[in-house]
Structures are given as structure tokens and as C-alpha cells.
Structure 1
């Protein structure tokens, strides 16, 4: 029995105490793995069913991709392994902020912080994280090869996909755990049990409280606050004076200075934005038979742009306060948006010209820049959810729409862009007008009848 206790399984008395704590917490309804089991169920059901249909659709739209996979199996597996390595690196970095072993705050304070073995009290949290990650990766490894097989691809891809899914799931969840244990153990080569044993209760409580705060912000549809909590800005240097060169240029220089001092997050947002814009402007996307690809890329560009318009978001958060530079709000908003809009227009136009879109490439560039400027105005001026729009009661469902309406309108503009260059420009200008109207409504002075 002592050996089992040293292995982290605990003595019968310790396991009985943990069982009593679970009974007090869950009152016989569910258990510590209920959420993980439900998440794995959703991943299995939706991932395999809808994932295989989506993969089949993609391979049907671009049969060249299916032929490339079939004729170059080694290169295809190499690409997947590279993606697994990249995902594991990201998981390691995420673990520094939010690790896989993360019970709720009450469990940490009342159970983990006691004299019970750390491996025993954190065992279910670790098992739940492993279950969700492994099931998600295996489902992805089944869905993509299944879609390839439905499109006439090789049957061996299904077995390879399952194997790569298992390898990817193990690599990602282990990297995630090592990211959480980074700085807490002498060596990250230790076993999972040793890493879990070394996790201090203070670290677990801090990460758990942060996770609860982000969840609460998402429930009230305050996505800006949730992102600020999950990805706090870490300045890379000591505070420095913002360059000044006139009122208009100072606004632009302040935005650029803030982006350059925001660390690696701005690099990630910029790369995601450029990748979405370059693919969006290509002939293969603009001339695709499917009307689904272009809207999704517009949505991705919108989401990436939200990380590059912090100056506009700060202006929206200071509604009612006088401008430091004495500029009208319209002028300041334009200065916050124009540099990014120019980059967006140039990227889409250049991608279109390079891939044979022709003269319509410039029209699509203007349309995308206008649409994304409008969606950023909507995102910046989207206030937190009001009490009447909560996700329960008479307003059930309205809160979700309120949280997503900038993204929904970006998708709608993307669908409009599939109808041609002239319609794309109209859709972009319409979304820009909607965003301007929203901003003008917030900056309008209060009136007393």
C-alpha cells in the first residue's frame, strides 16, 4: 500500500476523503470528468460528421490538393508532422497562462491545498484534458482522410490519419503540461506525474481564477475584455516618449509605437491578417464555384484585424472624454483605420494581380478594406451585454447575437463579395456605413427634451 501511495494513487483513506469532497461538491450529479466527457462527445460527433463533410467539400472544390496528397504521401505526412510541431509549440506557450491541469478555484482551495497527494487531487483534471485533446486530434485525423476517401483518395490515408491524430494529441497535451510546469521543475523531461506533483497551488489558483474571469467576460459578450484578460499586453521595453509630428501624424505614430511594443502577439495578428488577405485576393478564391470560402476568409481577416486596431478600441472606450489632441472623433477614427486599410487594400490587390484576377483586383481590394474598416468600428463600439440581453430568460439567444454581430456582418459582406466586383464594393461600403452609424450614435451628444 505505501508503494501505491508513493505512485500518487493515495491510500484508501485518502481516496475516501477525496470521494467525500466530490460528493459534497457535485451532490451525486455528475462528477469531475463530466465536462470533459461532454466535450469529447461533441468533438467526436461534430468533428467526424461535419469535419468529414467539410473535408469532402474542400477536396471536391480543389481536386489538385487531393492529387498532391495521393502522389506525394511522404511530403503530406511531413507537412502534418510540421503542423503537429507548431501546434505543440503553441500549446507550450499557452500552458504558461492556462495549463491543462486546472480544476475550479473551489477545488483548488478546499482539496488541492490540503495534505492529500497532489497527483490524486489533480488526477481527474489531467485525465479530462488528455481526453478532450486526444479525442479532438483523433477526430481530426479521421475526418480529413474520410473526406479525402469520399473524393476518390487513397484508403490508406484513414489509417495514417488516425495514427497521426494519436501522435499529435499526445505531443500537444504533453507540451501543454510542460508549458504549465515551466519554471516549477528542474527538468521538463520528468514524467507527467512528477510535473503535476510540482505544480504549486498558488499557480493553479491564479490560472483558474483567470480562466473563470475570461469565461465570465464571454458570458456577458464582452469579447474585448476577455481577450485582454487572456492575452495581456506585455511591453518589451521601458516606457518611452511617443514621437510627435503634428496632431494627425501623432495619432498614427502612437498606434505604431503601441504595436511595436506589444511583443509577439502583434506578430501573430499581423501574419494571420496578411495570410488571410493574400489567400482572399487570389484568383482561386475569387473565382471559386463555392460561395463559402470567401466569407470565411473575410471573417478571419476581421478577427485578425481586431488585434491590430487597439488605438481605435481605446478611442471607443473613452467616449465622453475630450480628445487629448483636440481632434474630432471622425478624424481620429480615420487615422486609426487608414494605415491598416491601406495595407489590406494593397495586399488583396497585389494577390489578385499576381494570380490573374485582372482589373477587378483593385475593386476587391477597396471592398475588403472598406468592409473590414466597418467591422472594426462595430467591434470597437460594441458595448458589454446589457441586462435585458442575458443568455437566460426572455432574452435567451440575443446575447450570442450581440456578441457576434460584427463577425456576422463581416460574413454577410463576404457573401456579397462573391457576387462580383461591383457588388463587393457596395457590400464593403454598406458595412462601412453601418459601422460609422454605430460610432456616430455613441459619440452623439446627450440631449435633454
Structure 2
């Protein structure tokens, strides 16, 4: 192969050289001596040396100590003025009225309960294991109700300005909330001691126990009052998430007060205002909606289609499954009231007034299961989605609570029959009690709104009409059953059915008024 000559590569031209700029080094000016400043003339006290003067100059300025009690007192005066003193006076007056009520009404009623029956038979029944178990269950139900109420309204609820202006200040929260806790603690202690004193006095005056019983029952009542108040505070602490929510807070009250969050106190204060406003205006729906908890149970349950009546009944069953608190509270109240009422009708030694005592929890337990009936009354006048009439819907809503109450009463009657003889009039009287409880709850649900001047006494009377009708007529049934006066018992039975007819007329009237 021939080789070709290739041209030689060109060399790169040298880069032009530019002379580097010459920079002169900066010259620093020579430091000049600072001008002397004239020192202020030294001021000495007569006889003071230079060492004393230097020690005096090094002394730190004195600190000002602030008293938390003084600051809280000033804040209390600025926010409430005379409210604290008036609150103490109102508390003392309420305690005075409560003491007079227990002395004038409570002690004679308790004494009459024990005097209107055979002392020996009643003593044997009250000391039986069944009676003791029922007493323990009643106390447990009462404490459970206190814990339940503490989630919505606790014992420590200061006014809203105090929460917004005082609690954010770096003060001890236990000290800032101590006054409201003292009100609740003293009230619980006083009510517990007064209740124990009333029961013990009734037992002693009825000659069923000695004078020592008064001291024992007063001490037990005081202990229960203190325990209930502390459980109330513990439930309020647990209503808001926090690091310390254990049972040890029951005896660590200052720590429990420090665990109360400002947002929780605001919520409880708002609940107090809502309940008070609803009670004074007769609008209980607002309070129920404000205190309703989110549904967290039974969310997978679905309503099966069917005929309108069956669908309404199944919807009430699903409602009870989704609100186990309402179901359990209704069960506890119904068991307690049913036991007392059944004992009053089936045991000859039981006093007639025992039925009066048991009717109220039985009535309230039925009402806890009848939420569907109240919802119908709240939405009365609106077109029915299932095409049912108002009476058919009301009957469907009372089916579930009536069946549950009938089951409880039947169970207690079976227990009474197993333990002893069962009077033939007891089932008939209990049937009248059941009809009366149903009628009272229908009246309470469809009572409407008050149409008179809203005064506290009149509002209380307006609220108490259904419960009062149940208690009065039920007590008459118990007295006439005990006396074997069946002629008058038939008359009272007609009155019971008249109350039921009145309740039905209230359903129709309220529905037509809202449709007009």
C-alpha cells in the first residue's frame, strides 16, 4: 500500500501576555489613643470606703414576689365582682332548704315506709341476700350515672371569661379551679350525709334499728357522697385526652384539677348553657342533639326492607345496637324499678309506698329505650317516608321498649313465684303499671312546647305532669291491690286507660297542629 504524506499540524499560537495589574497594599492607619472621658464624680455616703461602694454596686436589684392568691382574688373581682360572695350565699340557702325538705318530707316518708308494714317480716326481707344484692346494684347504678354525667357536665365548670382570661396565665391550675371544686365537694358531702341521716333516722324512729344506725348510715352516706363527687371529677378529666387519666386521680385531686384542659372546660360550660336554656324554654330536643355522642357501634348493621311497621321496629332495634349506653342505662333502671315494683305487688310484707319508689326508675328506663318515639315527636308534621300514619308509627316505636319492659317484669314475677307464693292479683296490677308507663312516655314525648309564661315553677310542673301521673296512679294501684279493694281497683284501671287515651289524643293533636 502506498503511503500518503499528510500535512503537518499547525502549532497553537502563544497566548498574548498582558501585564498583571499592580495593586498597592492598603495601609492601615495607626491607632490613636481614645480620648479620655470624664468619670462621674463618686458619690459616697459619709463614712463609706471604696470597698463598700464597689460591694454596693455589685448588689442585684431586689425581686418582686407575687402572691397567686392575691392575683386570683383580683381577677375574681374584675371578672365576677360580687358573684363569688353571692354564690356562697346561694349555696348556703340551697343547703338550708334541702335540710328543711329532708326534715319535713323525707324523714316522715321514710318512716312511713317502715311503719306501714310488719316490722319483723320487713326486717327479714331487708337483711336477705337478695335485698343486699339489690342495694349494691342500686349504688353501682347511681355511681355509674354520675360517671356518665361527668362526660357532659363535670363538677368544675367556671364561667367562660375565667376560662379565657385566667387559665392561660402561668398560674397553678389547681389553685385557679379550686373554688368550683370546693362547691361540688361540699355539696356532694352534704347531700350524702343528709341522705344517710334521713334513712337512719327513719329506721330508728320506726324501731327497726337502734340509734347507732343513724351514725352508721350518716357515715356511709358521707363516704358515698365523697366517692360520687370524685368519680364525677374523674369522669370530667377523662372526657378530654390527656397523659394522666388513671384511677389514682380519685385521691390526687390537685393533679386531677391540673389535668383539666381549657377546651374541655369550654365544652362543659357550653353544655351547661345549652341544658339550662333548653330546660327553661321547654325545648329538650336542643339538649339531646347537643349531648348526643357520635355513633361508634353497630355501624355494620343494615336495615332490611319490609313492611312499614316491621321496618320501624327494626330501625329502633338498630338504634339501640348503635347506642349501647342508652340500652344499658335503660336496662339498669328497668331492672331496678321492676324489682321494687314486683316486690311491692307480690310480697305481703312489702310496704305499699315501695311501688311509688320503684315506678320512677321503671318509667325512666322505658324512656331510655324509646328514643324512636321522641324522634317522631321532634319531626312531627313532616310527611312520613314510609307512608304510615302517626298512630301506627307511634305504636311501632313503643313496641321494642314495651317488649323489653314486659320481659323484665315477667322475669321478676317468675323469680317471685319461685321464691314463694304469687298472689293472683299481681299479674293484673303489673299489667296496669305497664300500660301506665307506656302512656306516660307517650305523653312526655308528645307534650309539645309550653304555651304559658316561662317561670321556673311552671316549667317544672309542666315537665313533671307525665311522671306525676304515672307515680300517682301507680301508687293507687298498689294501695288498692294491697287492700284487696277490687271495686276501686277497677275504677283506677279505667283511669289508667283514660291516660292512655289522652296520650293518643296528644299524638293526633300535635301532628295536626304542625300540619296546619
Q: TM-score band (shorter)?
A: 0.7 to 0.9
Change in CA separation of 1:345 and 1:167 when aligned onto 2, cut-off 3 Å: closer
Larger Rg: 2
- Cα distance between partner residues in 2 of 1:180 and 1:104: 16
Residue 269 of structure 1, CA deviation: 0.7
Residue 79 of structure 1, CA deviation: 8.5
| 1:23-44 per-position Cα deviation (integer Å, ceiling 9, x unaligned) | 3344336345444434433443
- Cα distance between partner residues in 1 of 2:145 and 2:466: 27
- Cα distance between partner residues in 2 of 1:64 and 1:70: 10
Note the 1:232-381 alignment, pairs <5 A. 232=293, 234-238=295-299, 240-282=301-343, 284=345, 292-345=353-406, 347-348=408-409, 351=412, 354=417, 356-381=421-446
Give the match's secondary structure for 2:449.
coil
Pairing 1:111–2:175 present: no
Give the match's secondary structure for 1:307.
helix
Residue 352 of structure 1, CA deviation: 5.2
Change in CA separation of 1:229 and 1:20 when aligned onto 2, cut-off 3 Å: same
Change in CA separation of 1:297 and 1:426 when aligned onto 2, cut-off 3 Å: farther
Alignment match, 2:191: 136
Select 2:217's aligned residue among 150, 161, 178: 161
Alignment match, 1:4: none
Residue 93 of structure 1, CA deviation: 4.1
Structure 2 unmatched ranges of 5 or more: 1-64, 481-485
Change in CA separation of 1:112 and 1:46 when aligned onto 2, cut-off 3 Å: farther
Alignment match, 1:40: 95
| Greater per-residue helix proportion | 1
Note the 1:35-114 alignment, pairs <5 A. 35-47=90-102, 49-62=104-117, 63-64=119-120, 67-68=123-124, 87-114=142-169
Select 1:18's aligned residue among 72, 77, 82: 72
Q: Normalising by structure 1, what TM-score?
A: 0.83
Give the match's secondary structure for 2:275.
helix
- Cα distance between partner residues in 2 of 1:26 and 1:65: 57
CA contact (8 A) 1:344 1:368 kept: no
CA contact (8 A) 1:138 1:165 kept: yes
Select 2:277's aligned residue among 216, 229, 248: 216
- Cα distance between partner residues in 2 of 1:84 and 1:345: 24
CA contact (8 A) 1:280 1:286 kept: no
- Cα distance between partner residues in 1 of 2:515 and 2:233: 55
Select 2:506's aligned residue among 404, 416, 438: 438
Alignment match, 1:8: none
Q: Which has the larger displacement, 357-366 or 83-92?
A: 83-92
Give the match's secondary structure for 1:277.
helix
CA contact (8 A) 1:349 1:365 kept: no
Residue 130 of structure 1, CA deviation: 0.6
Residue 203 of structure 1, CA deviation: 1.0
Change in CA separation of 1:161 and 1:227 when aligned onto 2, cut-off 3 Å: farther
Residue 261 of structure 1, CA deviation: 1.5
Q: Which has the larger displacement, 195-204 or 408-417?
A: 408-417
Q: Which has the larger displacement, 258-267 or 366-375?
A: 366-375
Q: Normalising by structure 2, what TM-score?
A: 0.73
Alignment match, 2:13: none
Change in CA separation of 1:134 and 1:234 when aligned onto 2, cut-off 3 Å: farther
Change in CA separation of 1:444 and 1:95 when aligned onto 2, cut-off 3 Å: closer
Alignment match, 2:82: 28
Residue 376 of structure 1, CA deviation: 1.9
Pairing 1:148–2:203 present: yes
Change in CA separation of 1:436 and 1:216 when aligned onto 2, cut-off 3 Å: same
| 1:330-389 per-position Cα deviation (integer Å, ceiling 9, x unaligned) | 222122223433444565466557264544334324322322222122111122334x33
- Cα distance between partner residues in 2 of 1:223 and 1:287: 41
CA contact (8 A) 1:44 1:135 kept: no
Give the match's secondary structure for 2:387.
coil
| 1:99-150 per-position Cα deviation (integer Å, ceiling 9, x unaligned) | 2222122322232333333122211001111100011111122221111111
Residue 326 of structure 1, CA deviation: 0.9
Pairing 1:181–2:249 present: no
Alignment match, 2:491: 423
For the aligned residue pairs, the C-alpha RMSD in angstroms reads 3.4
Change in CA separation of 1:173 and 1:283 when aligned onto 2, cut-off 3 Å: closer
- Cα distance between partner residues in 1 of 2:386 and 2:329: 31
